[in-house]
Each structure stands twice: as C-alpha cells, then as structure tokens.
Structure 1
Amino acid sequence: MSHAAPTNDSAGGYALSFNNLQVTFETAGPDVHAVKGLSLAVKPGEVVALVGESGSGKSVTSTAAMGLLPENANVSGVAKVGNVNVVGLEAGKMRKMRATDIAMVFQEPMTALNPVLTIERQLTEALELHGIAYGKEATARAVELLTLVGIPDPAKRIKQYPHQFSGGQRQRIVIAMAISCDPKVIIADEPTTALDVTVQAEILDLLRELKDRLNTGILLITHNMGVVADMADQVAVMFQGNLVETGTVEQVMLHPQHEYTQRLLSAVPKLSPVVIDANAAHAEQTASAGRELVLEAKDLVLEYDMRGTKFRAVQGVSFDVAKGEVLGIVGESGSGKSTVAKAVIGLLPVAEGTLSVQGHNLPKLSPREARKVRKSIGVIFQDPAASLNPRFPIGECITEPMVVHKEGTKASRIQRAMELLDAVKLPRSVVNRYPHELSGGQRQRVCIARALTMNPELLIADEPTSALDVSVQAVVLEMLQDLQRDFNFACLFVSHDLAVVDMLADYVVVMQSGRAVEQGKVKTVLHAPQHDYTRRLLAAAPVPDPHEQAVRREAWRTLNATR
C-alpha cells in the first residue's frame, strides 16, 4: 500500500513522514513503550486521520514531530517535516521550524492560550518572532487571520483576553495561530473535541478550505469517527503504540479489517432516526405527574458583569429535572448552556427568576445555607486537565469534596476513593499517581468519581465526554447510566453531542443565544424537530460513514445557505 512506510528516496514528496518511529518513556517503574515502530506519511494537501483510544500513542507521535517530548523520552527512527528529520534536531533549529514548517492545533484551547495576554499579543508574537510582520502590519495580519477563521468583529475583539471568548471561538483563535506563518503541515490534535456540532462543522469546513488554499498537509488526531468520515483521505488506526490498520477512509470506515477498528466503530453513539406524531408532545406533559423535582428553573435570567456593562447570557429559560432523570441542554458555544450549569453550582449569581435545588431557591439563600444545599450537587467539568489539582495525587483529588465539607476520617476517605475508583472502572493502583500521569479518558473518570464522592442528589455534567475517545466515551456513558441507576440522582447534562444526549437524556432543552428555542422529550425534539435551529444542529452532527456524511454535509450547507 502506497501509504505505509515511505522509503527515503520518496520522502521528498511528503509534508510529514514517520519511519519506524519508536518512543519510550523512562519512569520510576518499568519503561513505557508508547510508540512501537510507526511508519506513516502525509502528502501536501492531504488529510491523514490518526485514530485510537486515549493512551494509544497518537498524541505522543504528534509531539515527537513537533520536538516537544519531555526529557524522559527516548526517541529513535525518523520523523521528517518536509525533508528534515526532527528526531534529535537541536532545539534552536526545531524552534525555527515550529509555526513556519509545522504547526499544531491543540486539544484544549484554554490551556493552549496564555490567559494573561490579549489575543492580539498572542497572534502577533509568532509573526514577529519569525520575521513575517511587525507592529501595525502584524496587527492587521492578526485581524485578517481572525476574519479568516470566522471570529465576528475581529478588530474590536482582538484586544480581549481568552476567557472572554467561548470554547469554539478560542479553538478558532488557536487555528488562526497555527496558520499564521503558512506551515507546510498542521497537526490537529482533537481540534474539535470541545466544540458543539455546528461550530465543529464550521471548523472542519475551515480546516478543509485552508488546507486546499495553502496546500497544507494535515495530520488529524481524533477519536470522533464522524470527523474522520468527514475530513480524512487516509485513516491510520493505532492501538497500544502500534498501527493496526491503514487505508483510505472508505476502506477503513466501511470495511474495517481489524477487530479493534470494528470495536471502535461499533462504540460510536448514533442518533436514531425516528419521526413522532407531533400531537404526542401534549400527552406527555400531563403524564409526568408524581416526579420528585430536584432542580427547577423559572424565567431564569443570568448576566455577566463586563466591567460595569451587563451582558445577558441567559434570558427567560425555564426547566426542571426530577430524581432519576437526565435533562440534556444542547446548543452552540455561547448559547448559554454552560452558564446555566455555572449558576446552579453557584459560580454565577442569578439576575432574575428562580433557581431551586430541592425546593431551596438559591438566589434567596445566605452563603452558608447555599453551601449546605450545594453539598448535594456533584459536578463534572468539561476539561479534566484543568479541573484536577496537578499537585494532588488522584486519591486526594477524589476525596477533596469530603475534606472541604469536613466529612470522614483519613482512612474512610481513602476507602471511599477506592470504592469510587472501582465504580468508574479504574485500577485502585492509580490512587497515588498524579493527574499528569493519566490519559485524558482516565482523568475524566477521576472527575466523575470526585463528583460522586458526596452521594449527590443532583449531578451537573458539563460536556463530560467531549474530551474522550469513542470507546472510552461509550464506557463512561454506560457507567453514568449505571451510576444513575445505583445512586438515583437527577442529572443536568450539558452537551453539544446530540447522539450522546439522544442516548442518555430523557428531556432536552435546545438553546440558542441565551434562549430556549425548543424543549421537551428527547424522542420528540431530536427525532421530529420543529425549530429550524434544531434541524440545523442535527444536520451538523457528523456520522461515521463517509458517503452518508458527504450527503449530510451538503444538507448542512444548504440549511445554512437559506438562513
């Protein structure tokens, strides 16, 4: 097959190529062999998707190409950017190549951006560093880049800081930084993980357009099979450091040979196409009496104070969740879905309306009373890397809520941590390891364990599986269903993955620009949507079949064109 191992004489035609790449990490215990003899090539203007689970060696491969592996890594073999082998390349030369020859779009935009510098400073930095543009010219180029990646009102917003942008907008800024110096190859490491489907569709369109315009090779590292079907020309599947299957996107997605690839594809949550009688919606409202409400919002208004000016993030939203139920909140970045979650946790005051947890209206409570009520709320955040204290071992991360609420003894806390590690299917041995020693999927399980520490009545899950690969996501979602059955908590599930909401939630609220545009039972809303925006969201969700995805992509473009 032409794509496997590039021979040395043909390597000139590749934007990025690996030949027998081996990466081993020295650790306190036995050495970890992360990449075992990988050979792969990316041509200019081509997208090669590298898929596999957390810990399969995908990100280590890309980090090797960027020359960013830590001190304890031993690398052998060849990783060529254009014609330059970057394995063992001296630091100064490698630094010159970054951004101009090879650039990276990282998975977590908030950790890839510097929180204390304006977007302007961060975009102009690379341009000035590589001598491409200076001063006003660099700023003009930065505004142009933001326009290119679809940030509205770029001349004004360039003066803002990363936290003032939504997750999707931050990822666009990271892409703008990556393309600022016209690199020959872009490594996109889970570039759409934390994005909702319409933004994801736009970002994939953006990457595709940029790739064609700049003839850039893209190594796309992802676990989203829909994204693979949508974007990739070639697919390489990694498992435990080995490449187990490579081929064209049609071969691998439609006729997977290796059982691991088959397993990955079968784990993808799918939206079930059902059309329901529109009159069914009225019957279900009355049938749901006798529910034990845990969370209730009425005409909720939430505002951010932006240096004296009020910004309304949520306007007049009402919903409720009862014991044993899951309410999904879906919408785009900036639609206000995470803002609702923040208000429930107490990270944002309620401007108007009521927000009640177990009958207690949060805005009316004193801080001490509110704290008592919040003891019964567990939270799983979107970004596991940012929500675990890097200086705490896993055991302490999990039992932190017990310490905060002064519960239990040291021994009983450790016992609780062990039980929860069992519940989230992690080996008990991780109790003394640190967050950076775990993969993203494992970290997220730790976050779920921590959320359950206090036996919550209400679980707030803000995009809990967005950073996980499909098979891990399938396990985590199944686990959440099991845990909910065991603990019978109410769950507010904020997500942009409609297939996940379809699988997990009983009810759904679709939000757009701070308002609820459609809400009701999942069966009704996601299978027979009434609102144009819901239809657009559904059309934007990628499916793991390249042919079907091409049709859906066209439908999505048509829906967008008629807006």
Structure 2
Amino acid sequence: MTTLDITSSSDATSTGDAVLSFTDLEVTFGTEFGDVRAVKGVSLEVHPGEVVALVGESGSGKSVTSTTALGLLPSNARVSGTVRVGDKIVGDLDQAGLRKMRGNDIAMVFQEPMTALNPVLTIGDQLTEALQLHGIAYGRQATARAAELLDMVGIPEAERRLKQYPHELSGGQRQRVVIAMAISCDPKVIVADEPTTALDVTVQADILDLLRSLKDKLDTGILLITHNMGVVADMADRVAVMLKGDLVETGTAEQVLTDPQHEYTKRLLGAVPHLGEGTGQADVAVAGGEEQRRPAPALALDNLVIEYHRLGKPAFRAVDDVSFTVGQGEIVGLVGESGSGKSTIGKCALGLIPARSGSVRILGEDFGALSKKQLKDLRRRIGVVFQDPAASINPRFPVGEAIAEPLVVHQVGDAASRQQRVMDLLDAVELPRACYNRYPHELSGGQRQRVSIARALTLEPDLLVADEPTSALDVSVQASVLELFTSLQQQFGFACLFVSHDLAVIDLLAHKVVVLQDGRIVEQGDRDAVLRHPREDYTKRLLAAAPVPDPLEQQQRREDRHRLLAELGDEVVELRIDPTSRDDRPARRKTPGAEGGNPLGGAFHGG
C-alpha cells in the first residue's frame, strides 16, 4: 500500500538527528493458524523535541510498532528492518544491552497506570528502583531525587506521597507517577501508549500540558500512540496514520487533520464527534406528538443521598442531595469527573445500591417502597448497557443465549418466540444473524457492545441506563454505535440516563445535561444552555478541557483554558525544571553516585 506523505520538504527535519527511527519495519507473528503480518514495511522517525502521533484503529499495528523500540515483543514475533534508538540498533542488543537502553535512552508511559505500577510497592520504592538500577542515585540521594521528580510532575507533598501505595492516589496522580518514572533517567525519547484514554477530560488536559512541557523543556522526542484525534490536535507536530499494518498517510498535524488525503484518514476524522457541532436532540419531537413534548418522568430523583459505610471510619457520602428527572423518550447526559457520583447514581437507579435518603421513582413507582416481586416486575422495564461489554456478557453463553437471558429470567414467551425476538434484535443492532451461535470472544469490541445494547432492549424497556457505553471503542466504531443508539432510541422511544465524561458524545446525543461535582449537581438544563452557555466555573473547566480534532482551533482552546484557569486561580500543570539543552547534561551517567553534585544533571533541579 502506498504511503501518502504530505510533508513538504521545508517542513521535514533532517534525518541525522532522529532519536527514534523505524526503517522498513516488518513484524510477523507465528500462530497455530499461520503467520500474521502485524506491521508491513513501516518507516518513521522521531526527532528531539518533536511529538509524532501514530494513529489508527485497534489492530492497525500501532502498539506493535512502538513495542519493537523497547525490544518487548513476544518470542513468536519475527522482526525485519531496522529500529534505532539514538545510535543503538535495537536488534543488535542482547538482554543486558536492552535493559541498559530501557530508561537510559527510551522510556514508556502506558495506558493504564494501575497495571504499570506495582500495587505492593510504595511510590518511593518504585521510583528509587529505576534510579538505582541505572546507577544514577542510591540511598537517601535516590529518595531525594524521587521526591524531586514527583514535584517536577506537579504532585504536591512529594515526601508524603513517596510512602503511599498506588491505590492511594487518584488516576491522574498515578499517571503523573508513571511519567516521573519515565523521565527519571533522562531518556532521549518517550513512547506514550494511549496515556490519557482512562482519564477524565480535565485530568487528560493536565497530563497533555505536562507532556508538552516535557518535550519543550527537556527536548525529549515523544511517540504518541492514540486513537483520540483531539489529543492528536493538541499535542502532535507530525501525524502518521496506520491501517492493517501499513502506514497510509504522514504529514504535519495541520495537514493531516484539516486536509486528509487518504480515504481511511477521511473516514477516521469524519467519525470524530466535535464539541460545539453536536446537534443533540433538543429539537427532535418525542414520539407521540406535541402533547408528549413534556412527558411524565421515566426516572425522578428527589433529594437523593447515597453513602458508603466503612468499618471503623465515618460514612463516605458519594451522592449528596441530587434531584433531576428523565422524561419518557428523553436522553439526559450525566457528566462529571471520576468520583463525582455518576456511576453511583446509575447503580441506584437500577436498584443495585440503596439510597441513604431521598427517593428514586421509576415510572411513578418508588423503589424503596416495593416488595421483591414488585421490584422484579419493575426491573423488566429497565435496561442497562455497561462500559465494558467483555465484562458484562457471560463468556460461556453464546450470543443468542446472552440476549435471550432476560426473557428466560422473566419467563416471557417460549423457546421459538424467544429465538425470533433475538433474531429481530440482531437485525435491529445491525449484526448478522450468524452471530446467534457465536461466543463473545469471537466478536470485535464494537460487535460486543451491539450485543449489550440488544440485550438491554430485549424486554422493550421504558428506561435505559447507559454507563460510558462507547468510551472503550475506536472512533469509527463509536460513531456507528452512537448512530445506532440514536436510531434505536427514536424507534423504541425509551428514556435514557447516559453517563459519560465525553462532552462531545453528550453534545451529539442528549436532550438535557446534568453536571456533577463531588456528588452534587452544579448545573443542569437543556443541552444547548449547559454546553454553549455554562454558568458555573466547574462546567466551564470541563468544557475548556475537552479537545477538538482541529489543531488551530485546539491551540486557541488551550490558550483560552489557560487564561480561564489563571482567572479562577488554578495552576497550569507543567514540568517544574529549568530549561537546559540536552548537550549540557551528558555527564550525569558517567559517575553514578559520585560525591556531591546532582547525578540527574542540572536539568533535574526543581524550578
């Protein structure tokens, strides 16, 4: 496949100073079913102080390409071509050479910090381990350097944090710890593999600010692996697009994102929801005519309070005095950061956790006043779609049985009518009927989520609770699932509580928006009022942090966000060091642990 390179010669950087380069890289995996060519002749370079974004859908070969740079491929992989990290050829290194290269020359920031950090070691132990293994600092000096690293990446009270374990930190703080570990040995290049996918929109913006200051102040090259085009627009200098192992288009971020040449790139960008351009459903008439524009609530929460009780500790109030309604045939978007209480409210609406006080009324029925039989009858009228379909569908059931399970539980129909209902639902969610006898692991992520939606609609519910149903999907798969969701909602007329941290998705779907912070509602109203004309500072922060897939627009949004944070008295996250060129810092590895001096070099003094 021919690569479309739309980088002009004046924009291209000379190839001699590349800190990471792939030349004609091919990776083939030997399996019991034959060879699988995961990467097919990829050539790509990353230069000092440059961010190159490698984008594409799952299975395109992005992560395999990046993993070759660290020599971490499994034993069944065959690699041809040349991978260079600085002046080292990765394929020529033995295990000792690879260990020395990792950290000293190249480091990695993984997608999920909880899997990258050891849960049984303190943060301090994990940071000092890297410093000691590479001979940079030992003992108290290593502990002091570890605290300095945490301070550099914007973690307050660094000395106290060193004694904590990963589970005691928030998701954003854990990701900053991973970044601190990555820069601890002053690598020439960092591979960031989906570093913000699992983070809230505000935390994501902070991490991107941190990575941006990292490459500016340390002149570090960054290979950014992502499927989020907003992140690409915010971070990347150049973009490389992969499809089924091939590099199909490369160019500057502005060229690729605003004037794509390859059809696949155009499809990817066309599938990305753009905050501010969503039509929502504020003007869509609810089925049934004018008299049903203000239907009776399918879900009504009144002064809802939810608490978690812990042995020997005060109760934790997760939801505090929350009141809102979801009308029949209406989609209400529930947004906020992690820990704001979104999923807790969704679980309470499903009857999975009790309310401390207040009331939850489903279709006029008070959850707290019903008997077990009445609750079971009411739950027939509620459907649910979870974030991860692989975890919410029984892997031992074929797809047909998984979709039919609600019919069996509620004793609806006979075997023949249940099978027909499943077939009709497979048609409705645009899955082939041949999926009936397949198992979940035989389907893609998008197909599994369609199965989840079909199962949620099996009993024709009046209310659907959707908890982050598209956050784990590729952009093109997300677009098709959202389009399907919208058409099904208009066809079946169900009400929906849609929980999400993606404001662009809410902009695309919702009639109304409810914004949560620390268990309390800070703002609610029609989609247009909340997302276009927010009144509260917290809502403004959320909207300002949401990236858009246009480099010039995103640059302006980033500047506006920094201005807003300054007005609100908040700090912009950046690497807290004195900018020093890399040429001034080569000696720090020559005399590890030498008396006096700073083994991390001048660039690692807190500024």
Please indicate, yes or no, whether the TM-score normalized by the shorter chain is above 0.5.
Answer: yes
Matches within 5 A, 1:475-486: 475-486=480-491
1:183-194 mapped onto 2 (5 Å cutoff):
183-194=187-198
Residue 380 of structure 1 corresponds to which residue in structure 2?
A: 385
Distance 1:57 1:324, change over 3 A: farther
- Mark the CA change 1:98 to 1:369 in structure 2 (over 3 Å): closer, same or farther: farther
**Matching residue's letter, 1:245:** E
Deviations along 1:351-399, one digit per CA (max 9) or x if unpaired, are 332223334444556777656655554443335566567x657738945
> What secondary structure is seen at the aligned counterpart in 1 of 2:329?
coil
Please say if residues 128 and 143 of structure 2, whose CA atoms lie closer than 8 Å, have aligned partners that are also in contact. Answer: yes
Shift of 1:227: 1.4
Match of 2:81 in 1: 77
**1:20 aligns to what SS in structure 2?**
strand
Distance 1:71 1:429 in 2: 33
C-alpha offsets along residues 40-85 of structure 1, whole Å, 9 cap, x if unaligned?
A: 1111221001111222221222233333334443332222222333
Which deviates further from its counterpart, 107-116 or 251-260? 107-116
Consecutive unaligned residues in structure 2, runs of 5 or more: 9-13, 280-289, 569-607
1:299 to 286, 291, 303: 303
Pick which of 131-140 and 218-227 moved more.
Answer: 131-140
Counting only pairs closer than 5 Å after superposition, residues 469-480 of structure 1 correspond to structure 2 as: 469-480=474-485
User: In structure 2, the residue corresponding to 1:53 is in which secondary structure?
Assistant: coil
1:32 Cα deviation from its structure 2 partner: 2.9
1:322 equivalent in structure 2: 327
Q: Any conservation in 2 of the 1:418–1:431 contact (CA below 8 Å)?
A: no
Distance 1:130 1:376, change over 3 A: farther
1:492 maps to 2:497: yes
SS in structure 1 of the partner of residue 306 of structure 2: strand
- Is 1:550 paired with 2:555? yes
CA apart distance, 1:237: 1.0
SS of equivalent residue, structure 1 residue 530: coil
SS class of match (2:357)? strand
From the superposition, tell whether residues 242 and 555 of structure 1 become closer, same or farther in structure 2 (CA, over 3 Å). same
Provide Cα deviations, 1:260-304, integer angstroms capped at 9, x if missing partner.
Answer: 2122222221233699xxxxxxxxxx9977524332211122333
Partner of 1:61: 65
Name 1:531's counterpart in structure 2: 536
2:107 aligned residue (96, 103, 109): 103
Matched ranges for 1:266-345 at <5 A = 266-272=270-276, 290-305=294-309, 307=311, 308-345=313-350
TM-score, length of structure 1 as denominator length:
0.83
Q: Which structure has the larger Rg over C-alpha atoms? A: 2
Deviates more, 1:57-66 or 1:449-458: 449-458
Check 1:73–1:365 CA distance in 2 against 1; reply closer, same or farther (3 A cut): farther
Select which of 210, 216, 220 maps to 2:224.
Answer: 220
Aligned counterpart for 1:460 among listed residues 456, 460, 465: 465
Partner of 1:231: 235
* Rounded Cα–Cα distance in structure 1 between residues aligned with 2:467 and 2:386: 5
Give the counterpart letter for 2:510 in structure 1: A
| Contact 1:24 1:32 (8 Å CA) reproduced | yes
Partner of 1:26: 30
The alpha-carbon distance between structure 1 residues 26 and 544, as it changes in their structure 2 partners (threshold 3 A), is same
Would the alpha carbon gap of residues 497 and 17 (structure 1) be closer, same or farther in structure 2, given more than 3 Å must change? Answer: same
Stretch moving more, 43-52 or 325-334: 325-334
Q: Once the two structures are superposed, what CA deviation does each residue of 1:446-478 show, in whole Å capped at 9, x if it has no partner?
A: 554554455544332222222333222211111
CA RMSD between the two structures:
3.8
Q: Structure 1's 380 and 214: CA in aligned 2 closer, same or farther, altered over 3 A?
A: farther
* Structure 2 CA distance for aligned equivalents of residues 156 and 400 of structure 1: 52
> Contact (CA 8 Å) 1:59, 1:189: kept in 2 or not?
yes
Confirm or deny: 8 A CA contact 2:6 2:251 kept in the other structure: no
Separation in structure 2 between the aligned mates of residue 396 and residue 125 of structure 1, nearest angstrom: 50
* Total equivalences in the alignment: 546
Q: Secondary structure at the match of 1:555?
A: helix
**Residue 118 (structure 1) shift:** 5.0
Matches of 1:37 and 1:380, distance apart in 2: 40
Secondary structure (helix, strand or coil) at the match of 1:354 reads strand
Equivalent of 2:43, from 39, 43, 49? Answer: 39
Offset, 1:545: 1.7
Which AA in structure 2 matches 1:350? A
The answer on 1:246 being equivalent to 2:238 is: no
Q: Determine if contact 2:7/2:252 at 8 Å carries over to the other structure.
A: no
Contact 2:298 2:328 in 1 (8 A): yes
Alpha-carbon distance between aligned partners in 1 of 2:121 and 2:384, rounded to the nearest angstrom: 29
C-alpha separation between the residues in 2 aligned to 1:92 and 1:417?
56
Shift of 1:410: 9.2
Q: CA deviation at 1:553?
A: 0.9
**C-alpha separation in 2, matches of 1:116 and 1:377:** 40
Q: Is the 8 A contact 2:406 2:455 kept in 1?
A: no
Secondary structure, counterpart of 1:268 in structure 2: coil
Q: Which moved more, 1:99-108 or 1:468-477?
A: 99-108
Moved more, 534-543 or 244-253: 534-543
Q: Percent identity among equivalent residues?
A: 63
Preserved CA contact (<8 Å) 1:54 1:440: no
The offset of 1:316, in angstroms, is: 1.5
Whether the aligned pair in 2 keeps the contact of 1:96 and 1:130 (CA below 8 Å) is: yes
Distance 1:462 1:538 in 2: 20
Structure 2 residue 207 is matched with structure 1 residue 206:
no
Quote the residue 1:280 is aligned against.
Answer: none
C-alpha contact (below 8 Å) 1:25/1:34 kept by paired residues: yes
Distance 2:495 2:57 in 1: 30
* CA 480–164 in structure 1, closer or farther in 2 if over 3 Å, else same: farther
Matched-pair contact (CA < 8 Å) for 1:23–1:33: yes
Amino acid at match of 1:193: T
Q: Please report how far the alpha carbon of residue 231 of structure 1 lies from its aligned counterpart in structure 2 after TM superposition.
A: 0.6
Cα distance in 1 for partners of 2:92, 2:399 equals 38
Which is worse superposed, 415-424 or 336-345? 415-424
